[in-house]
Every structure is written in C-alpha cells, then in structure tokens.
C-alpha cells in the first residue's frame, strides 16, 4: 500500500480566532510536503484554491516545483487543478516542467471545482464548467502527449 500526504488549506474568516496566519500556514504546508519525503511517504498532494475562499494556495505547480527541489522520492500532485479557470496550454506546460524538474515524479489531476465563487472572481460562468473542463482536458492531453498538434475548440 502507498501512503501519501494530502492537505487542504482551508482557512476562512469563519474560523475566527482559530484562523491561521496564511503566510505561516503556507510555509507549514511546504515543510510538511518536504517532511513527507523524509519519512518515506509516496506522494504530496496540494490543492488549488483562490483568494482565500477555501485555502491559501493558488499556484500549485509553483509550490510543487519548490518541493521537488527539496525532495528525492515523493510523487508531486495537485489536488486538483481547477481546469475551467485556467489556460489548458499553460497548465500542460507547467506540469510538464514540473515533471522535468522532478525527474518524472509529477502526477496530473484536474477537476471542475465546486464553488461558484472561485469562477466568479475570474469572470468565468460556472454554468460552463462541464464544457470547459471537457475541452480543457482534451487540450491538456494533446499538449502533454503530442509533440506537434492542432486543436480546434
């Protein structure tokens, strides 16, 4: 059985006095990811959330790249990329770069998300999440798997 480190970075204002300092919370999550490698865990999974609604980690691939530089064994994965709110080609580039920097330890995971507020801040209609996700995944797969490709979407 493989055991990994999966974290949520929930830290909403509703936590009141229990709310953590978001900068320190972010540093703690990174340190825990490095520690996961040190104790022999299989993977590190970091979430993508924007503007503090459900977390303090918007640049997942950047954070995983930093962990990659400080680790040797753990697989590095997003939990999960909010694909309809991102440019699929840039996402493919980011995770292919992570895979190169980590010597093949990147795992890609994408989803539609569940909170309309994260769509609203990007000006993306939540009602289009399914169509945007489906098309985005096709494009990400092509970009990751084919050296030359054309996409009409």
The token pair at 28 is: 């703690």
Predicted local distance difference test score (pLDDT) of residue 151: 86
User: Buried (b) or exposed (e) across 23-55, using 16+ Cβ within 10 A?
Assistant: eebbeebbeebbebbeeebebbbbbbbbeeebb
Measured CA to CA, the distance from residue 19 to residue 23 in angstroms comes to 12
**Domain assignment of residue 119, given as a range:** 5-145
153 assigned to some structural domain? no
Enumerate residues 6+ apart whose C-beta is below 8 A from 98: 61, 64, 65, 68, 76, 106
Predicted local distance difference test score (pLDDT) of residue 53: 64
Measured CA to CA, the distance from residue 69 to residue 97 in angstroms comes to 12
How many domains would you assign to the chain?
Answer: 1
Enumerate residues 6+ apart whose C-beta is below 8 A from 113: 82, 84, 85, 119, 129
CATH number of the domain enclosing 21: 3.20.20.30
- Residue 21 DSSP class: P
Handedness of CA 79, 84, 86, 89 (dihedral sign): positive
Predicted local distance difference test score (pLDDT) of residue 111: 97
* Average pLDDT taken over every residue of the chain: 94
* pLDDT under 50: residue ranges of the chain: none
Query: What are the pLDDT digits (tens) for 95-108?
Result: 999 999 999 999 99
96 assigned to some structural domain? yes
Beta-carbon-side half-sphere exposure of residue 10 (alpha carbons within 13 Å): 7
152 assigned to some structural domain? no
51 assigned to some structural domain? yes
120 assigned to some structural domain? yes
């Amino acid at each position: 059985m493989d055991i990994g480190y999966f974290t949520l970075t929930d830290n909403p204002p509703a936590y009141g006095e229990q709310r953590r300092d978001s900068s320190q919370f972010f540093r703690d999550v990174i340190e825990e990811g490095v520690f996961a490698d040190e104790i022999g865990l299989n993977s590190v999974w970091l979430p993508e959330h924007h503007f503090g609604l459900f977390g303090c980690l918007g640049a997942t691939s950047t954070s995983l790249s930093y962990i990659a530089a400080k680790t040797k064994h753990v697989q590095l994965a997003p939990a999960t990329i909010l694909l309809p709110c991102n440019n699929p080609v840039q996402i493919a580039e980011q995770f292919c770069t992570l895979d190169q920097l980590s010597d093949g330890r990147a795992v890609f995971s994408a989803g539609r998300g569940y909170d309309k507020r994260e769509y609203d801040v990007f000006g993306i209609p939540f009602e289009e999440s399914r169509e945007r996700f489906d098309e985005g995944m096709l494009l990400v797969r092509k970009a990751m798997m084919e050296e030359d490709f054309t996409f009409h979407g």
